Every structure is written in C-alpha cells, then in structure tokens.
Chains A and B, each alone.
Chain A
Amino acid sequence: MSFVITITVNGDEKRISEGQTIADYIIGLGFDPTKVAVERNREIAPKSTFNTQVLSAGDTLEIVHFIGGGNNA
C-alpha cells in the first residue's frame, strides 16, 4: 500500500505518492533532468543527489529551466 503526500511545485499544491526521489518525480512529469535545476525548500539540489533525495510531505519545489543567453545575437 502506498501513501500520498502533499508537496508544493512551482506554487501549486500537488498530491504525490510517497517514496519518490527528485529524479523519479521530475522524470514522471516529463522533464529531462539535464535541462533543469530543482530547487527544494529554497536550496538548489545538487544534480548528483537527484537519485537519492526522497521527497517529503510539505516540501516546496521549484523547477528552474537553465538559461544561457546573453542576448548577443
């Protein structure tokens, strides 16, 4: 039996199944982990920990797309 927890993602409350890592969750949403940074509770999660950080009830996530422009072209 799996439990459901509530987290906040980009400002919206989401109910998700317990036990998911950051990688599980964002891949499930359709994101390519090489193209985004994930901010968990106002701190950027190091990419090397995406597979080990398990989401907890009450977490606040922001999914941040990398931008690389200097608007030179």
Chain B
Amino acid sequence: MSLLDFSDEQLERYSRHLVLKEIGGAGQLALLKSKVLVIGAGGLGSPLLMYLAAAGVGTIGIIDDDRVDISNLQRQIIHTTDRIGAAKVDSAEISLSAINPDVRVVKYSDRLTADNAAQIIATYDLVADGCDNFATRLLVSDTCVALGITLVSAALGPFEAHLATFKPHKGDELPCYRCYMPELPGDDQNRTCADTGIIGAVAGVAGSMQALEVVKEITGAGDSLAGKFLIFDALSMRSRLIKLPKDPACPSCGKSVGHV
C-alpha cells in the first residue's frame, strides 16, 4: 500500500498527519495497518480510544465487561446519557464509528483472565492498558512479555497519572511492568475511583498522553517512553520523567527467565 492507495477522503481526513515529517504518508499507512488492543473503556480508555480512532488506527480491540452508569459520564466521555445501561464496548463502538468509519472495532465484553489473555492479545501489534486493577495489569504485562508485544500503560489516581511504555523484547536493558511493580501491593489493590474520586480532566490528560505514545510507537515519531516513567501531578501541574531500569531479577523479563 502506498500514498496512491489513499482515497480522496482519507487524504483530507489525515491531512494534518500527512504534512508532519514525523508522521507523513508512511506513518499514516502504519497507523491504518496497525492493530491496537485497549484494556478498559473507562476513564483512560475514553480519550485513548477516541484519539486512536481519529488518528486512523486500522483495528481497535476493546475489552470491557462493564455497562454504562450515570456516574461514569463525569469523565468517560466516549459514553453518552442515552446509552446508560448499554455495554461499554457497544457504546464505545458507536462513538468510534461516528468519529471514523475507517476503523474496524473488535469487541470483547469479558474480563481478561489467565485463560483468554494470550489468545486475545496475540492477535494485536500493541496493547494499551487502562484497566482498573493491579492484578489485570500484571496479567497484561506478563502476557505481552511472553508474546513480545509492546505495552503502553497508564494509571490514574485522583490527581495524578503514571505513564510508561514496556517493550523488553526490543532491548536487553528495557524493563517490563513487573520491573516496576514485581507483585500485587496488598490491600491497596482494590482502590478505584468509586472510593477515591477523580477530576474528569485528569483522566482526559492521561488517556490523551497514552494515545500520543501509542501513535509514536506505531509511527516511530520522537523518543519512545520505554525505559522511562512519567509522573503527572495535577494539583501542582508538575510532571517528572524519570528512568525506569530493567530489574535483572525480574520474575517476568529478567535474565533468569526462560521464554519460549
């Protein structure tokens, strides 16, 4: 496929990408051919999914087993008042198709489990995790490490966001999520926004930055976040980019682990 294969409508739709030397025709083609799996169609997933669809990511998988609740709408901007009670994957598909009919949406209205994770994730080029619990984050990371798939991971607190890219298959010095958090952090693991609260725009900032890093990974624009860790604090409006080294003793991607 080359630039000549773009329809007139696509040349117009993606014109603001095509003029960027960092994206251009080659980058747009890479986006249109890419397959990205998004874990969670909630606070992070809403802006993430909408920007990925708008950017022309060709296939977007969505995993979420939840339904739209009125209390979601304060921040989950992919969903609407008239879709309260609908499955989030169905509501998200309606929004994505309305934004960009080029996108093929694949819906999984299940929870990700140890039984289905490898089968689902293996069909994608890249995974973007915006799920709401640590156990799923570790499962997603371990599966991506085993399959050699890049993971762009974001997480939210009430006034803070964490963002990192994990691709240990691309370099011996690059970490995975377990290099950062080797095991479940005890009884903190079930804290969600239902009990901690959040300003909706904090989810918007974080999910948008996550979408940006996904687009950069696919197109090769700029510097990868792999091996780094971004911490955003909304109350002080400060962000810090720090180094995240590989843990040589990591149980998932460390030297002592024999991968198939």
Contact = CB atoms under 8 A, between A and B. Distances in A.
Interface of A: 32, 34-37, 39, 42-44, 46-49, 62, 64-73
Nearest to A43: B243
8 contacts: A47-B247, A48-B250, A67-B160, A68-B191, A69-B132, A71-B42, A72-B44, A72-B76
A44 B227 CA distance: 10
B157 A70 contact: no
Interface in B128-173: 129-134, 137, 154-157, 160, 162
A44 B192 contact: no
A70 B78 CA distance: 14
Contact of B44 (A43, A62, A71): A71
A68 B137 contact: yes
Interface stretch (B23-31, B98-106, B180-188, B213-221): B180-188
A61 to B, nearest CB: 12
Given A46-B247, A47-B182, A69 B196 contact: yes
B247 A67 contact: no
A15 B166 CA distance: 36
B131 A67 contact: no
Interface string B233-260: 0000000101111111110000000000
Contacts of A48: 182, 247-250
B43 A72 contact: yes
Given A35-B186, A44-B229, A47-B182, A70 B243 contact: no
